[in-house]
Structure 1
Amino acid sequence: MADEAPGLRLFATIPPPAQPGRYREAVRRAARCAEAAGFGGALVYSDNNTVDPWAVAQEVLAATEDFAPLVALQPLYAHPYTVAKTIATFGAVYGRRIALNLVAGGAVGDLAALGDDTAHDDRYARLTEYAQLVRRLLAGAGPVTFEGTWYRVRTLPMFPPLPAHLAPELYISGSSEAGLRAGRTLGAVPVRYPEPPGTSGDGPHGDLRGGGVRLGVIARDSDREAWALAYERFPASRAGRLAQRLARSVSDSHWVERLSAAEEFPGGPDSPYWMGPFLHHATYCPYLVGSHEKVEREIMRYIDAGCRTFIMDTARAEDDYAATAAVFDGALKRHGEPGTTRVAP
């Protein structure tokens, strides 16, 4: 589990495609910058509105030395055998480990477009079975027979075999009881979009032990400088607010509902916790904004709560990778640990 390793698992996020024909180099450059800064890997998105995540993961592997793609894995996009075959092939070609971020799918419109009307909790039951079959296929114990509710295979062999030390680590997105139950069954690291301080568990981040969070960070020498940059990058707009409300209306994800109901500054005027980018549909996670000291102290609260995995929002500039890694190094040092953030999954 993430809280058993020294240091932190720190993931960047591969940016979405922008200019056709130039995305390959954008992916490679983002991965190289993140690796050089000390990140252990990078999240690769998967949904109806982006490119194939496995093609992106291959570019990430090709561009880096010891860096793990964290591939978002949604059951509707590929059969478990296809996924296991791809992972085993990466192992044979690169000798590298990847990680999987299991997602059940929460955008009802995207699911409907694929002809899927499975209920929310049943999607997590399907996701559990899906991951179990992928894991069985990669275990290398011989041909696999699997009889489940959602998937069935008969004496299915897997080639090439995947060495045991390259078996993917599992992460799972979801804060509902169904999502948490799936994570417990699979032994996956639960990743959440952290709620406003004081709204969960016994403290501001009291329910995060052994898990991870997804957020953004903007830290500079002073609060004034950090907030100036934050408002420049994420300006408020009526159109953005309306877009966020629409996104909320077409999602049955529990975390979307909870965060959508938050105020822009739920922690008060002195807190670095900011919901502005989420509430104006500029990104899908909260931000910590302020001086290096203030942001490092807030990150310490997550670490104190047992959180050891951090998946960062998409970088807006290349120097964001080093700036973000430096904040986490500072937080670890304040926590009395060596300032080493890079722990590969």
Structure 2
Amino acid sequence: MPDGSRYPCLEVFSTCPQSVEAEGAAYLQKVRDVARWSEQYGCKGILVYADNRLVDPWLVAQLIIQQTVTLCPLVAVQPVYMHPYAAATMVSSLGHLYGRRVALNMIAGGFKNDLTALNDTTPHDRRYDRLVEYTVIMRRLLEGAAVTFDGEFYKITNLKLLPKLSLDLMPDVFVSGSSEAGRAAARAMNATAVHYPRPSKEYAEAAEEPSADSGIRVGIIARDCEEEAWEVAALRFPVDRKGQITRELAMKVSDSLWHKQLSELTEAAQGQRSVYWMVPFDSYKTNCPYLVGNYRQVADEVGRYVRAGHRKFILDIPPSEEELHHSATVFQEVAKGLVS
């Protein structure tokens, strides 16, 4: 039976398909398939997105729990969508009904037009301050105490959460660590700071912040043969001028530091072929860099990230079971190197 611990010292998460990709029964089947594949190939959990275009992530998380044995939904939580009490109730209710853990991906921002539509004018760094208060309240409620909180963004008095959550189901917390505000929030929340990585050669062979819990968001296309991997990559993500223009337009209305950082890396990498590949990002097909090559090449790149202190990996949405098989082969190679 899969237990999410196939890769010693590492935690691997896949990503759930988005509801804009299919409707109704077809979307439900996509979620079922990806969740089952993810568990089969050793993923600890699966990221579930949230934004103004998508179905409710908590309903998707429930479906994932119903279709798997141990896979942990990593649910995106945006403060402007619900009060921290409502989010805590979702966590405790899923624990009460299924005896299963969820994890929380705390979102400070999102698409700028989404925030405008919701009349959220909070500046970028202040959204992280709000996120800290939100997470503190959720944790205190989930720990079972009656909570009184007098903060800048939230005020509650003697609030108690039912049903109670078993303490062994307390959720892990993730947050974007691309900006200093995000990293400060991660430290304040004792959360995993997740960022979109630079090429591994730019990282020292030691943790940048030894005490920090750190993860990265990345896609993987790996095969036994390097040329086959690049053929697959070119077919899945052809250079798309229309997508490039859309990316340029998105940049102009985004206040996300990670978006600007990746765009700079795209410009620097143009015309070069290396394991670290930015065409999918540049063509607006995904929001993370990809690692492309044979198993050994990609495992070496991942291994350098691990030695720099990044032990949690959130993969892009898998297009097929086969791709998760190939990604699993890479992480098995990395794990062998860690225990040998």
TM-score (norm 2): 0.93
| 1: CA distance, partners of 2:237 / 2:268 | 14
CA contact (8 A) 1:28 1:59 kept: yes
| 2: CA distance, partners of 1:57 / 1:247 | 28
In the other structure, the counterpart of 1:214 is 217
CA contact (8 A) 2:78 2:106 kept: yes
Corresponding residue to 2:187 among 160, 184, 195: 184
TM-score (norm 1): 0.91
| 1: CA distance, partners of 2:12 / 2:54 | 23
Greater Cα offset, 261-270 or 150-159: 261-270
| 2: CA distance, partners of 1:187 / 1:245 | 35
The alpha-carbon distance between structure 1 residues 284 and 119, as it changes in their structure 2 partners (threshold 3 A), is same
| 2: CA distance, partners of 1:296 / 1:112 | 41
- Give the alignment of 1:104-119 within 5 angstroms: 104-119=108-123
1:270 deviates by 5.9
1:160 deviates by 0.4
Query: Where do 5+ consecutive residues of structure 1 fail to align?
Result: 338-345
In the other structure, the counterpart of 1:276 is 279
Does residue 305 (structure 1) correspond to residue 308 (structure 2)? The answer is: yes
| 1: CA distance, partners of 2:150 / 2:207 | 39
In the other structure, the counterpart of 2:4 is none
CA contact (8 A) 1:265 1:273 kept: no
Does residue 24 (structure 1) correspond to residue 8 (structure 2)? The answer is: no
In the other structure, the counterpart of 2:144 is 140
Does residue 246 (structure 1) correspond to residue 249 (structure 2)? The answer is: yes
Greater Cα offset, 261-270 or 78-87: 261-270
1:109 deviates by 1.3
In the other structure, the counterpart of 2:160 is 157
In the other structure, the counterpart of 1:64 is 68
Letter in 2 for 1:292: Y
1:332 deviates by 1.5
Q: Secondary structure at the match of 1:262?
A: helix
Q: Secondary structure at the match of 1:159?
A: coil
Letter in 2 for 1:261: E
CA contact (8 A) 2:14 2:43 kept: yes
Which structure carries more relative contact order (alpha carbon 8 Å, separation 6+)? 1
1:241 deviates by 0.3
CA contact (8 A) 1:198 1:205 kept: no
| 2: CA distance, partners of 1:291 / 1:198 | 18
| 1: CA distance, partners of 2:246 / 2:144 | 46
Letter in 2 for 1:156: L
Letter in 2 for 1:241: Q
In the other structure, the counterpart of 1:343 is none
Corresponding residue to 2:169 among 166, 180, 183: 166
Identity level (%): 45
Corresponding residue to 1:327 among 322, 326, 330: 330
What is the RMSD of the two structures over their aligned residues, measured on CA atoms? 1.9
Which deviations, in whole Å up to 9, do the C-alpha atoms of 1:48-93 show, x marking residues without a partner? 1111000000001010101100001110111101001111000100
